[in-house]
Structure 1
Amino acid sequence: MSFGDPNNPYNQQPNQPPQGGQPGYGYPQQPGIPPQQGQPGYGYPQQGIPQQPGQPGYGYPQQQPGTLQANNGYINVPGLGTVQVATMGRRLGARLIDGVIICVVYAILSGIGLAGALGLAETAEECGSTLDPGYNACIEDASAGFLVTMLGIFALFALITLLYEWLMISFLGATVGKMALGLRVVKENTGRNPGLGGGFIRYIIPIVGALLCYIGTILVYLSPFFDNSGKLQGWHDRAAGTLVVKK
């Protein structure tokens, strides 16, 4: 009669590890048998799987808003994604269309002013001769009326120009000329329309430049050529924080 191991009186079999050398809960990894590729187990970290190149994620910096893409004329704008910066040819073409519209409005107002001047001239002829007692007073009234008429026409023209450029850019992001050529003015940091503040700043800077015999205005409209960032921002765009892009 034989006796078993005194430490194992019931002759129990020792725990065996799973087949194939796979570690599990309570079973240590067998020496020299690595886990299968990509199969995590207890005590083994998940194998890292890198993301596809160019896909933003952990460890991959996202493209910052306002960043040009390889200077190819495209830019990343928040809210719009990747859009194309408007070329100077299109911008000058849009400005030309707007100029024609403004000239038509000016011609209409000038015609109204001329008709008023002719009416005042007829009134001056009715003042009589220089020997009449009320002649000087009549001529002064006619001259004052002509001056008021011309100043009123000029003020109305300036107001129409202001409202045309300011309000359309503020709320629509484009004038008629820009709409015709598929352009839009947006805020660089949001991609939205400039709003009243941005639209006014963008409008008033060229007007201030007109005080220098319009030389300043010409320089403002040509200033995108001087922008070495590739965004083609004019001085008025930089001050208003805007970009001109294609729709």
Structure 2
Amino acid sequence: MSNPYGPPPQQPQPGQGPGYGYPQQPPQGVPPQGGYPGQGYAPYPQPAPGQSPYGAYPQQQQPGYGYDPSGYAPRPELAHWGLRAGALLIDGLVFGLVYLIIGIGVAVGRGGAGIVLILLGVAAIIAFAIYQLIQEGRTGQTIGKKAVGIRLLRELDGRPVGVGMAFVRRLAHFLDSLPIYLGWLWPLWDDKKQTFADKVCGTVVIKG
């Protein structure tokens, strides 16, 4: 009598899987092909010494004024003395325009128009000084620094110095003026191109 359910299933041959005939182990001399280890497949390639699975490890760099801890971003270039002097000159010229208003007021005399011009000039100087201080503290740039493309940052982490430290640095500039203005010239030969005020406050000036 014939089997109504058909012939019995064949038993897998040695070296074959239970269902589809895939070899459990590759034949000798034949390297396994891709996949997961432990299933008859080659393991994923291991990274070489000194490399991560995503490529070579970045070189370690010292932190400071805008260094990227990952090592992929280059260190910002320090601003040379000429750029710093140019920024200071531009800021001085802007202040000079305000002083010109006061001078015109004095020349006009003690009349109402002269007094108004003097008061406007004094108010403009105060407002401009505060504006410059806030901008330098928050963005690292005064009008002059922005014009020449430089920026004041903290040496430690490359962040803006803040309004408070920007004010302290302004006060510390008296150190640059004491020894025959030597501190203002110090960036010409200093490795970090810092004035004495920069060294005291931990700041640097970079291009950017």
Q: TM-score range by the shorter chain?
A: 0.5 to 0.7
- Change over 3 Å in CA distance of 1:108–1:63 after alignment to 2: farther
Provide the residue aligned with 1:33 in structure 2: 30
Question: Is the Cα contact below 8 Å between 1:165 and 1:203 reproduced in 2?
Answer: no
Provide the residue aligned with 2:3 in structure 1: none
Provide the residue aligned with 2:165 in structure 1: 198
- Change over 3 Å in CA distance of 1:169–1:15 after alignment to 2: same
Count the aligned residue pairs.
177
> Structure 2 residue aligned with 1:243, among 166, 183, 204?
204
- Change over 3 Å in CA distance of 1:158–1:86 after alignment to 2: same
> Structure 2 residue aligned with 1:90, among 83, 87, 110?
83
Secondary structure of the corresponding residue to residue 32 of structure 2: coil
Provide the residue aligned with 2:58 in structure 1: 61
Tell which structure's C-alpha radius of gyration is larger: 1
Quick one: distance in 1 between partners of 2:128 and 2:83? 21
1:176 aligns with 2:143: yes
TM-score w.r.t. structure 2 length?
A: 0.58
TM-score w.r.t. structure 1 length?
A: 0.51
> Structure 2 residue aligned with 1:225, among 184, 188, 193?
188
Question: Is the Cα contact below 8 Å between 2:46 and 2:53 reproduced in 1?
Answer: no
Secondary structure of the corresponding residue to residue 232 of structure 1: coil
Provide the residue aligned with 2:43 in structure 1: 45
Quick one: distance in 1 between partners of 2:174 and 2:126? 13
Quick one: distance in 2 between partners of 1:42 and 1:180? 65
Q: Deviations over 1:198-238 (max 9, x none)?
A: 2123211113444x3x72xx32222222322xx42333233
CA displacement at 1:58 relative to structure 2: 7.4
1:206-217 alignment runs, 5 A limit:
206-210=173-177, 212=178, 215=180
Higher helix share: 1
Quick one: distance in 1 between partners of 2:84 and 2:103? 28
- CA RMSD, 1 decimal: 4.4
1:134-153 alignment runs, 5 A limit:
none
> Structure 2 residue aligned with 1:102, among 95, 103, 110?
95
Q: Which amino acid aligns with 1:245?
A: I
Question: Is the Cα contact below 8 Å between 1:186 and 1:244 reproduced in 2?
Answer: yes
Quick one: distance in 2 between partners of 1:86 and 1:104? 27
Quick one: distance in 2 between partners of 1:88 and 1:14? 83
Percent sequence identity over matched residues? 32
Structure 1: which 5+ runs fail to align?
A: 1-10, 69-74, 120-154
